Structure 1
């Protein structure tokens, strides 16, 4: 019987994210999740029918936990329509994602695992595509300068900056990362 307590379920998924980040996809077992969540042995298997479902739910939870704040969304739609506003929003995004280090590392593990699991690949592709589409739509609806390609180029560039900062933190310090974010925006978004 699959359990449905949402709070316990999220605790288990959050534990799965921590296990993925620390031990990789091969280390993700129900036993490891139970231990990380500090729950009795067998709890995770009562909530998830199989390991694949746990992988999928970890991917969904990453995006759920990284939703921008109301203040950020308000700034997107009501702030000045300038490249500087875009740079501020991009810096906030990089900081928010980098602040959930284990979540992003777990997502990288999920992406690698998806190369071997077509079902997981399909689900992650759908989820990431939806996130990209929402970012493009929000940008275009906000009236900020730049087109869909500009949003995609910033998405690609800043994702790799995040990878560098989380996996090899000695390469780009805070000041250099901030400078690179501004430079990316200035090169991709046309001046008004």
Structure 2
């Protein structure tokens, strides 16, 4: 079939899978990249869906993992302890690529993340250790203190189990890639 679509990577399962990971790696390296700030969706302990913007800190295409940093006492950690399955969503307008990743999340903290904490710059450390803890009621808009605390720092290690990639260029394409099939890929109707 002849195509006028300029994105050859989108017409090939291997190319599409590689493009998703390339965009994730770009998100780790570039603060302006769309993959830098994916949306993380979890299920609260009382059964409500929750979505929030997070910051992608590491991506390992060989292991199929992504790392996010968070406050150990945040609602997302409580949700993940209740149900360790989550989803990440990224819309990359420049590439016209939507990536939805199904992940299993392990919450790492304490000595397991000490080496990572040591590399977190001071301005970023301000996000881990607020008093009162994240999500607690406060009397006024700024009635909290920032107290960087390594004991409040956690890494969410996300093991990717499935990727649903949708290219929304001139000729839409969609594919699913699963860890269980060694990322072989299957075309889906967009």
Give the structure with the larger strand fraction: 2
Q: Which has the higher helix share?
A: 1
Q: TM-score range by the shorter chain?
A: under 0.3
**TM-score normalized by structure 1?**
0.26
Q: Normalising by structure 2, what TM-score? A: 0.26
